[in-house]
Amino acid sequence: MDTKIGLEVHFQLNTGKLFCRCPVEQTQDEMFRFRRKLHISASELGNIDAAASYESMRSRSFEYIVADNSCLVEMDEEPPKSPNRLALATAIAVSRSLGCDVMDHITYMRKIVIDGSNTTGFQRTAIVGINGRIETSRGPVRISTVCLEEDAARKIEEKNNVVVYSLDRLGIPLIEISTEPDIVDEEHAVEVARSIGYLVISTGNARRAVDAVRQDVNFSMGYGRVEIKGVSKLAQIRDVIRYERERQENLRIAVDTIRSRGGIDRSSFKLKDVSDFFSNTKSKIIRNGLESGRIFASLLKNMAGTLKNGKLRMGKEIADLVRSYGIKGVMHSDELPGYGLTAEEVETVYRSLGKSENDAVLLIVMDPARVSFIENAIFDRIQKIMSMDLSETRGPSGDETVFLRPMPGKDRMYPETDVPVIEVGADLAAMASSIRPRTYGEVVQDLVKTYGISKQNAEYIASEMILDLFQRMAQLIDAREAARMITQIIPDLERKTGKVLDQDKILRLCQRSKEMQLDRYQLEKALEILYEKNSVEAALSDSRIRELSRQELEDLISDILNTRGDATRNAIIALIRERTDRVFDPRMAMECFNEVKNRR
């Protein structure tokens, strides 16, 4: 099967917001809130975009948190100001480094989005460069476009059909670099994303935050393009491509199985109210569902064994769609009896629907008012999969992907009327020339030369795109200790605790450590406590960072030797750590061990 892979790599900039003069970072969580309801509109040609239509049918309301780095522009109560010049210059510099043809004039367009992520109902985006390329170990990869757009609002939560967004992220400049489908496989995709990433990050104008870099993966095996949006980590690119390949291969098997039995039948797919069959059920899901809705069931003709059977998971395709409409109670015959339902209850439903051996049955807990709409949506999705048209927008969920919405098209684009056309004149071109992006190899070489760290550590810092964090840490503590913390200690603590600390807290700890003149062992212990307590001051005031004195070490070692006379030099460090959770210098501990041992 001919697989095609492309990337859209997004980088937030720290230059200030794109269409107002607000800063990128906020200092206050919340000022006030307001609500909006967005409605769909047609394109210039009178067409409705499929993705926008889908969002409209979800009929959600949106609540916005106003932070102190947002203003009337983000609230859509004031026209946008002229685009940030440094952001424009950075996008031009990146375009040049990729060998793109830079536009003489930059023209903004509007892209309809009514998922609430923009208060205006659209996103402003402009093409800065086209027709570039980047060299990789697997050959050149063409760059189709470099765009500069405004980032979306940050989603906080969704509950009872109301989505809460924060305006702190809305309007942050976002460079989007799109490749042609020249990427060979998942490993190559990671290499391409990393190589592109360093050209942007090395400008010094990229924002440093957990969500500042995001990748969209475009994937096709001949069944239509799937766009996997919002992949935040490089390693996850590899995971979602592998999953999507396997998913599509298994859908092909499921479809062939269903077709061999005679295919699907719309006339038999009717959601029937079967609530009365569960009047005495012990199933918590069903009982809870009956408190706010009804239980509906339908035949899925010839689909038995394809909904959940080994790697065949057509049921997940249906459940993902239904969940996107806010409905969680979805069950099917490939996993029944289950969910507290008895075999007798299940058989009663099967008989009422006339289920045969090859048929599957779907059970859904929902509001009766939505039955007709959900019934059509489910069958349309099944029919689309049966035609092996798998084109859609999906999102990462661990190492899997989930349905987000239909694939958007050209019908969501229309001209921007508030932002004038921008001429790339001599002053803007000169500003761009002062910004010099560097390649991955150049960054590694510079780290080794400037900071005296190992090439292995430099490659890790470069590949993980944490150059800015390392450089800021190296201003506060020894560069080699900063490299050790970034490449070994922090990743190990993240694995152990499942937490990712804000970089500002790590930098604050390093700053206070410098002020308190802590040694490396105290700093590393304080970092460990920071992951535990999530407070810099709490970590620094913890008694565990008070270093054991030489006398305390000798007393502790004497006690160990009294109870463990066979304690050896090689084992003493581990034995000390068993007796105390306070920090100590291992070299001093070894010296004390020798002295205590010699006195005996």
Q: What percent of the chain has pLDDT over 90?
A: 72
Q: With H, G, I as helix, E, B as strand and everything else as coil, classify residue 573.
A: helix
Q: With H, G, I as helix, E, B as strand and everything else as coil, classify residue 122.
A: strand
Residue 314 CA, chain-centre distance (Å), reads 25
Report which of 407, 472, 440 is spatially closest to residue 195, judged by C-alpha positions: 440
On the question of pLDDT at 519 being above 80, the answer is yes
pLDDT of residue 145: 98
Angle at 502 (CA atoms; ends 496, 503), nearest 5 degrees? 105
pLDDT level of residue 176 (50, 70, 90 thresholds): very high
pLDDT level of residue 413 (50, 70, 90 thresholds): confident
pLDDT of residue 26: 86
On the question of pLDDT at 41 being above 80, the answer is no
Q: Report how far residue 112's alpha carbon sits from residue 50's, in angstroms, rounded to the nearest whole number.
A: 11
pLDDT of residue 560: 87
Q: What percent of the chain has pLDDT over 70?
A: 100
Q: Report how far residue 19's alpha carbon sits from residue 170's, in angstroms, rounded to the nearest whole number.
A: 10
388 CB burial (10 A radius; 0-12, 13-18, 19+): middle
Q: Report how far residue 134's alpha carbon sits from residue 144's, in angstroms, rounded to the nearest whole number.
A: 11
pLDDT level of residue 174 (50, 70, 90 thresholds): very high
Q: With H, G, I as helix, E, B as strand and everything else as coil, classify residue 501.
A: coil
pLDDT of residue 565: 73
HSE, CB side, 13 Å, CA atoms: give it for residue 77: 7
32-41, 116-125, 143-152, 354-363: segment of lowest average pLDDT:
32-41
Average pLDDT, the chain: 92
Q: Report how far residue 56's alpha carbon sits from residue 51's, in angstroms, rounded to the nearest whole number.
A: 9
List pLDDT tens digits, range 576-600: 988 888 989 989 999 998 888 888 7
Q: Report how far residue 205's alpha carbon sits from residue 234's, in angstroms, rounded to the nearest whole number.
A: 20
List pLDDT tens digits, range 178-206: 999 999 999 999 999 989 988 998 898 99
Buried (b) or exposed (e) across 364-387, using 16+ Cβ within 10 A?
A: bbbeeebbeebbebbbebbebbbe
β-sheet bridge partners, residue 145: 130, 178
Cis peptide before 586 (omega within 30 of 0): no
Please state the rounded mean pLDDT for residues 444-465: 91
HSE, CB side, 13 Å, CA atoms: give it for residue 125: 22
pLDDT level of residue 414 (50, 70, 90 thresholds): confident
pLDDT of residue 106: 97
HSE, CB side, 13 Å, CA atoms: give it for residue 395: 11
Q: Which residues, in sequence order, are CB contacts of 429 under 8 Å at separation 6+?
A: 92
The answer to whether 545 and 522 have CB atoms below 8 angstroms apart is yes
> Tokens 């522009």 — which residue?
73
On the question of pLDDT at 383 being above 70, the answer is yes
Question: Tokens standing for 170?
Answer: 């809305």
356 CB burial (10 A radius; 0-12, 13-18, 19+): exposed
pLDDT level of residue 172 (50, 70, 90 thresholds): very high
pLDDT of residue 335: 94
Please state the rounded mean pLDDT for residues 371-386: 95
pLDDT level of residue 551 (50, 70, 90 thresholds): very high
Helix (H) or strand (E) holding 94: helix 85-97
Q: How many residues does the chain have?
A: 600
pLDDT of residue 440: 82
Name the DSSP class of 213.
E
HSE, CB side, 13 Å, CA atoms: give it for residue 524: 22
List pLDDT tens digits, range 308-340: 999 999 999 999 999 988 888 899 999 999 999
Q: Report how far residue 560's alpha carbon sits from residue 563's, in angstroms, rounded to the nearest whole number.
A: 5
Quote the crossing angle between the two packed helices 85-97 and 426-433, to the nearest 10°.
60
pLDDT of residue 1: 63
List pLDDT tens digits, range 96-148: 999 999 999 999 999 888 889 999 999 999 999 999 999 999 999 999 999 99
List pLDDT tens digits, range 219-266: 999 999 999 999 988 889 999 999 999 999 999 999 999 999 999 999
Report which of 531, 524, 467 is spatially closest to residue 501, judged by C-alpha positions: 531
**CB count, 10 Å around CB of 188?**
18
